Amino acid sequence: MNNKTGSPNLGAVVSIRGSVVDVRFEASLPPIYTLLRTGLNGEIAIEVLAQLDAHRVRGIALTPTQGLARGMRVTDTGGPLQAPVGSDILGRMFDVFGTPIDHQPPPSAVEWRSVHCAPPALLRRSTQSEIFETGIKAIDVLVPLERGGKAGLFGGAGVGKTVLLTEMIHNMVGHHDGVSIFCGIGERCREGEELYRDMQQAGVLPGMVMLFGQMNEPPGSRFRVGHAALTMAEYFRDDEHRDVLLLIDNIFRFIQAGSEVSGLMGQMPSRLGYQPTMSTELAELEERIANTDNGAITSIQAVYVPADDFTDPAAVHAFSHLSASIVLSRKRASEGLYPAIDPLQSSSKMATPGIIGMRHYLLAQEIRRTLAQYAELKDIIAMLGLEQLSPEDRSIVGRARRLEHFLTQPFFTTEQFSGMAGKLVSLEDALDGCERILRDEFKDYPESALYMIGCIDEAQTRLPQSASTLAPVPVASAVEVEPHES
């Protein structure tokens, strides 16, 4: 901010406590969210979060504060944190400041916009519901996603959230005439580097933008990278009128970064140590993801669930914003049923006859009912054995087990680990397969013939093989590659 004489508004560092920096200004006080620069070459960035009195502000550093000392000069940049937008950012990888981290020169023809924007007005939002096909059987049949909606991938550590997310990028970027933006919040540096190379090899990088606020970066940086990604997504939706697929891995890390910032700022923690402003902060981010008259931002978000506890406040608040919840089950992962989607816990607001059609709706209900009955019978089977069930119950168990095996699918992103070629399955083929299993067309087929196939007709090609080659052993490949969530 410049004063009336045109000279920069300068201040001085008063105190430093980790990432929290207090700065004194004599001329004029910078507004909230203003970006301040300090350090020998202005390399330390501070975002103003509180005005303490007429001359002092408190901010959170978005960069490491090594080398910062009391009395150092601080320059008011006169505006908030900004992100680059424009068609030149496609195929590139950035940090929270819009600085390229892919060892290439900065994009030339870009415009810089504030990361703090209001959600689109209600009048501009589209009220039409459309389905967004993913090519993954279990999702398209049981948990249909909404174009312009928000879907959550819930699961603990190591059940396959990142693998499922990268598979969706692979499937959708190749078959979707839009832009894909991947936002990594508080994830491992290795994952970002691997994802960049995978997207490069798959040939989908020219239609993607990647942003990372890594695990080793300060909480302020991790907290703002989601806003920067949304600013880019809004440009493609509102200015270029294109559909955008926004993938966030991991939204829990956004809440966690906000909790760290809140604690550093001295706010009183709320339930389970979370920040008292958690619901507001999450809503500010989520409400910007919307379907408007210009285009749609469809978001798929991985949500790490601490200790697999779905009553955790972070999971509960994330649930309230979603149009679909895909819950990953550790038990199914241990049985080798990948993707490890729990069909009874997962749900979608799109699964109504008016949106997906009566045939799809009734079929999905029948699949859930069959799987629910099987879940109830499991205790009896464990204690007394399958032979003690009535013939009707035995046929339900057979159908349910064949459905479970048919809803597994080999992924393109795990080919190198599993040796199985990835499969993309249309919704019609997936529905046809489930319908034929429920009609008992495959009751004489071994369950293993339906394991890790694409369309149902592939089961016939598996029959001549010996049972040993078809046994559904757990595939280590499809588990999320990193065994522990930090």
Rg (CA), the chain: 25
Tokens of 484: 């522990």
Give yes or no: 187 in active site: yes
Q: Hey, how many other C-beta atoms are within 10 angstroms of the C-beta on 476?
A: 11
Query: d(Cα 95, Cα 189) in Å, to the nearest integer?
Result: 12
Catalytic residue among 37, 188, 401, 462: 188
**b/e string for 388-423 if b means 16 or more Cβ within 10 A?**
ebeeebeebbbbbbbbbbbbbbbbbbbeeebebebb
Catalytic residue among 47, 146, 167, 187: 187
Q: Do residues 252 and 187 make contact, with C-beta atoms less than 8 angstroms apart?
A: no
Query: d(Cα 291, Cα 178) in Å, to the nearest integer?
Result: 14
Pairing of the two strands 131-132 and 92-94: unpaired
Sheet with 347-348: list strands edge to edge: 92-94, 208-213, 178-185, 243-249, 297-304, 150-155, 324-327, 347-348
Q: Hey, how many other C-beta atoms are within 10 angstroms of the C-beta on 196?
A: 19
Q: Do residues 129 and 145 make contact, with C-beta atoms less than 8 angstroms apart?
A: no
Query: d(Cα 235, Cα 111) in Å, to the nearest integer?
Result: 10
Query: d(Cα 198, Cα 42) in Å, to the nearest integer?
Result: 35
Determine the residue type at 82. Q
Query: d(Cα 360, Cα 381) in Å, to the nearest integer?
Result: 31
The DSSP code for 291 is: B
Catalytic residue among 161, 237, 253, 423: 161
Question: 432, 430, 256: which is closest to 341 by C-alpha?
Answer: 430
Q: Do residues 187 and 156 make contact, with C-beta atoms less than 8 angstroms apart?
A: no
Question: 41, 83, 29, 81: which is closest to 60 by C-alpha?
Answer: 81
Instruction: List the catalytic residues.
Output: 161, 187-188
